[in-house]
Amino acid sequence: MTEPQPADDLPGIDPVAVAAWMAERIDGLVAPLAFSLIAAGGSNLTYRVTDSGGHQWALRRPPTAHVLASAHDMGREWKIIEGLGRGTGVPVPEAVAFCADAGVTGAPFYVMGFVDGLILRDPASTVGLSAAGARTATESLVDVQVAFHLLDPDSCGLGDLGRPTGYVDRQLARWRRQYEAGKVRELPLLEDLHRRMSASVPAEQRPGGLAHGDYRFDNTVLGPDHRIAAVLDWELCTRGDPVADFCWSLMYWADPGDTFSFLSDPPTVGPQFMRRDDYAALYAARSGFDLSQRDWYVAFSYWKQSCIVEGAYARRLAGARTGATSTGGPETIAERVDTLLALSDESLARLGL
């Protein structure tokens, strides 16, 4: 068992204070604890915590710098996994303990069970995965998303997460506010796209269940049967339009030959996976939702992602670490924002908007 890493190697963690806090709340914890930053997430920081008895937990806290007041709400994320754990059928890690006291380690945080398994992050992680295994994983990915899209949030104490209608309008307003709050440069095209989309939002098909906000393979853990054992990273979850949430997920499903992807090295390009259109058809068949407005949601997704990446750019300029997988300098991040805005513009133009 290794000793806790020095604080300089653990952004946002005071190992001594956190270990004492956990020891008071977790039965059976065996000191000392070891902490390590997990290679996951582009926003909130996630750590693996291991005690000397071999027990493991995951700890989540906000980034260490340039945190917007309306983002990185640990209490809200905690409430979501705790609520979904009440027999909803949506697999989440066990909710263990929440700390609202920023004095412990600089910000509120929570501890959840550590779910071990396969995370499909890139093609290397799919080596050895058969076509049958990929099909099972894909069907489970769709079925779990349909489950929280059709969930009655009131049934698990999550009815107050947001209004049941008007999701895309709120998203347009929210991400523009996020851009303005952390603004480090002028982006006229971002403003123009916001205006054009605000005037052409498709009608919602039903009141919203839950929209995860960033649902994809690498925010899930697959069990030995290749089905989803846990859904992670509920930071952006709210009540919302299922079609908008699915079409956002669809942006992460890359096909061979794609010239641009939300992910730098997407796992779904392998031959064992179905293609993007088939994945969309599977969701439509199992959810019953009409995806005829998919092209509009593609434009919206490019724009929304540009706002998110611009926020990462602002945080990087401020010196924040946003997760162990963050790569590239500020210039690279800024160029990606420009590309995303151009793709959104092209998508809307094809629709005559």
Which token pair is 34? 């070891």
How far apart are the C-alpha atoms of 244 and 215, rounded to whole Å? 12
307-329 burial, b at 16+ Cβ within 10 Å, e below that, comes to: bbbbbbbbbbbeebebbbebeee
- Report the candidate in 161, 273, 263, 247 with the shortest Cα–Cα distance to residue 207: 161
Tally Cβ neighbours within 10 Å of residue 69.
7
| Strand stretches in the chain, DSSP E | 33-37, 45-51, 56-61, 95-99, 109-113, 209-211, 220-222, 228-231, 238-240
Range with lowest mean pLDDT among 61-65, 73-77, 223-227: 61-65
328: left (phi over 0), alpha (psi -120 to 50) or beta: left
pLDDT value for 46: 92
Q: What is the pTM of this model?
A: 0.90
Q: Does the pLDDT at position 321 exceed 70?
A: no
Q: Are 16 and 108 in contact (CB under 8 A)?
A: no
Identify the pLDDT of residue 65: 63
189 Cβ contact list (under 8 Å, min separation 6):
341, 342, 345
Q: Is 209 exposed, middle or buried (0-12, 13-18, 19+ CB in 10 A)?
A: buried
Chain region(s) in the chain for CATH 3.90.1200.10: 124-350
Question: What pLDDT band is residue 238 in, cutting at 50, 70 and 90?
Answer: very high
pLDDT over 80 (residue 70): no
Residue 69 banded pLDDT, cuts 50, 70, 90: very low
Distances (CA, A) of 30 to 55, 135, 215: 8, 40, 34
Token digits for 339?
A: 């590309």
Comparing C-alpha atoms, which of 43, 102, 56 is closest to residue 75? 102
Indicate if the pLDDT at residue 327 is higher than 70: no
Query: Can you name the residues that pair with 318 across neighbouring β-strands?
Result: none
Segments of the chain assigned to CATH 3.30.200.20? 7-113
CA distances from 224 to 104, 115, 117, 136, 218 (A): 37, 12, 7, 11, 16
Collapsing DSSP to helix, strand or coil, 300 comes out as helix
The amino acid present at 279, given as its one-letter code, is: Y
**pLDDT at residue 210, as a whole number:** 97
pLDDT (0 to 100) of residue 208: 81
Identify the weakest region by mean pLDDT among 303-317, 319-333, 339-353.
319-333
Residues 6+ apart with CB under 8 A from 137: 120, 129, 217, 222, 226, 227, 228
Q: Is the peptide bond before 32 cis (omega within 30 degrees of 0)?
A: yes
Closest CA to 316 of 329, 306, 303: 329
Distance CA 72, CA 60 (A): 10
Check whether domain 7-113 has CATH 1.10.2020.10, yes or no:
no
19 sits in which H/E element: helix 15-25
Distance CA 118, CA 152 (A): 29
Question: Between 3.40.640.10, 3.90.1200.10, 3.60.110.10, 1.10.10.60, what CATH number should domain 124-350 receive?
Answer: 3.90.1200.10
How many other C-beta atoms are found inside a 10 Å radius of the C-beta of residue 115? 20
Spatial separation of the C-alpha atoms in residues 37 and 273, rounded to whole Å = 30
Confidence band of 3 (pLDDT split at 50, 70, 90) = very low
What amino acid is encoded at 187 in this protein?
A: L
Give me the amino acid identity at 74.
Answer: M
353 alpha-carbon distance from chain centroid: 29
Residue pair 301/263 in contact (Cβ under 8 Å)? The answer is: no
Give the residue-averaged pLDDT of 270-298. 97
Look at residues 150, 298, 142 and name the one whose alpha carbon lies nearest to residue 210: 150
Residue 326, helix vs strand vs coil = coil
pLDDT band at 42 (very low <50, low <70, confident <90, very high): low
